[in-house]
Amino acid sequence: MFICASCTKDFQELNTTHNAPSSTTIGPLINRIDSSLFLGSTEQGAIHNDYYYPITQLAATAASSAFVLSNGVDEIWNNYYSTLQDINLVQDKINAVADQESMKNIQAVLYILRAYKTFRATDQFGDIPYFKAGKAYTGSVSSFRVAYDSQQLIYDSLLADLAWAVKNINTAASPVTTQGNAYQTLGSYETFLGGDMTKWQKFANSLRLRYAMQMVEKDAATATPIIQDALNNGVGLIGDDEDICLWPASLGGYDVASRWFSFSTGGTGLVRMSSTMWNMVSNNTTDAGIFDPRAKLFVETNAAGNWAPYVIGVSQGDNINAYTYASTDPTNKNGSIYSLINWYLIRDEWYIPEPIMTAAEVHFLKAEAYARGLGASLDLTTAETEYKAGITASVNFWYKIAGNTKTASEDWTAVAPSTPTTLEMQTFLANPKVLFTGTAADALSKIYAQEWLSYFRQPWLAFNLWRRTGSTPVDASSNPTSAYTTFYRLPYAQDEAVNNTDNYNTQISKMGGNNTNYKVWWMK
């Protein structure tokens, strides 16, 4: 269903159309842009598992993996710039249509996809080539190697694009332009949200809330009105059961083997349950101590059948590949000392989605807005309502997945815990570690902690939250190395020094080097 964009090392080639002539139609190009949203195996192994998980202490790495940071960086960089040229090709084709009004919904979809892809890239690297990048197919030599743009200007531009999309999407069943032409659609090529323009509109509005909140510490004057508008413009935000995800089953079983590879053979099976995460879901290492119903969906016991959290920087190594690539036996943990990521959560390639933006996240963002009085009056009662709704949405999201994951080799439905009852949820929400109580600062700490936990399979968002707030959970007994405590960004791809030399040198001179301890623009 998807045609994957190829990767290349040369910067000029990154700006050139791959595997498709420039005359291709909009639909296949949008489909290819959609396909680029899937996470790569090296991105997950070298970046998420080796850095974002232990940095945020959402999970731990029990020993050095076989992955190399620079390879993960190259995969992310190449994926973005390969996709950016497809995005620019689509924009050219939109611009060539006489009745521009007929293209508004397609334009909005393109703006949203470009914003999502670019926010992810700039959040990880900081300043990047953007405004003039991805245009070498035009034949202009000046487009082969382009300058780096400031993250602040990129943010401003993307937020303006999202505001346009929210305002201009037409959600009518069969809209017609003032010239009497039907709005053009992507038809069967729109595989991401199935052509549901109301959902696209809510997605755009929710992204505005996410990224305005992300920059509010740095530029409150710009961010606060956006937060206020996103909360009150009447368009709405992603709600319960409207989670934006890549669902392999609905895409004809699109291959997501990269997830399993990153946790097993490629990553040598070294990701473990962190003590920080465990302290947030259980009072001790017995089954009776578990109070968070997501615990047994996210992680599982070690080879001895015990709950054994790994304390980052303190626990002894566990250099064991807990799963083999061909394994169909979740009980074979190969003698692992510490608890593992749930086998079903990383093994299934049909029903387990890749979350893009969940209802839980939106609830937590709203809770923060009300708890801090950002774009809304400070209202801890409403903040508590949204906080509880966020936790509940996260629990429901993962239990729905576990209850529907059933293939011949991965039947999670047969072993997953029962969906918690109303009484069990009430007990969970009343646990002292979860209960919304105390001062506004206490409440905010609880919001960040539960938002962090809800990102269990979105570690890049946990990384953003950690960098933005500095207030995500930490195990006081842990002793992470400086490689984790001051890792603020990904280094630029190594090929930039060769293929975009002058612009690269100008950029790293401004930063004092291509260093991971350099803070991106929106950090405190």
Q: Tens digits of per-residue pLDDT, 245-295?
A: 998 877 766 656 788 888 886 666 799 999 999 999 999 999 999 999 999
**DSSP string covering 41-75, please?**
HHIIIIIIIIIIHHHHTSSEE-S--S--HHHHHHH
> CA 320 to CA 269: how far, in whole Å?
7
Contact 311, 56 (CB under 8 A): no
Q: Taking phi first (over 0 means left), then psi (-120 to 50 degrees means alpha), and beta for anything else, what does residue 406 get?
A: beta
Q: Which residues of the chain have pLDDT under 50?
A: 1-23
d(CA 271, CA 60): 6
Question: CA torsion sign, 400 to 403 to 404 to 407?
Answer: positive
Residue 374: count other Cβ atoms within 10 Å of its Cβ.
19
Check: CB of residue 516 under 8 Å from CB of residue 489: yes
The reported pTM is 0.94
Question: Under DSSP, is residue 373 helix (H, G, I), strand (E, B) or coil?
Answer: coil
Neighbours of 20 (CB within 10 A): 15
Q: What pLDDT was estimated at residue 179?
A: 97
- What are the start-end ranges of the E strands in 360-444? none
pLDDT tens track for 137-172: 888 888 889 999 999 999 999 999 999 999 999 999
Q: What is the distance between the alpha carbons of residues 397 and 400, in angstroms, rounded to a whole number?
A: 5
Measure the CA–CA gap between 57 and 342, rounded to whole angstroms: 17
Q: Give CA–CA dist 479/497, Å, rounded.
A: 34
Cα separation, 176 vs 197, whole angstroms: 15
> What is the gyration radius of the CA atoms in the chain, in angstroms?
23
pLDDT score recorded for residue 419: 96
Nearest Cα residue to 268 out of 353, 351, 336: 336
Question: Phi-psi bin for 377: left (phi > 0), alpha (psi -120 to 50), beta?
Answer: beta
Token pair for residue 383? 């903040």
- 353's torsion region: left (phi>0), alpha (psi -120 to 50) or beta? beta
Sequence-distant (≥ 6) Cβ neighbours of residue 65 within 8 angstroms: 45, 46, 49, 50, 267, 268, 270
Show the tokens assigned to 245.
């995800």
User: In 350-456, where do the E strands start and end?
Assistant: 354-357
Residue 365 Ramachandran class (φ > 0 left, ψ -120 to 50 alpha, else beta): alpha
Query: Residue 9: its pLDDT value, please?
Result: 32
Question: CA 493 to CA 490: how far, in whole Å?
Answer: 9
Helices 459-469/104-125 angle, 10° precision: 60
Task: Give which of 384, 302, 279, 317 is closest to 57, Cα–Cα.
Answer: 279
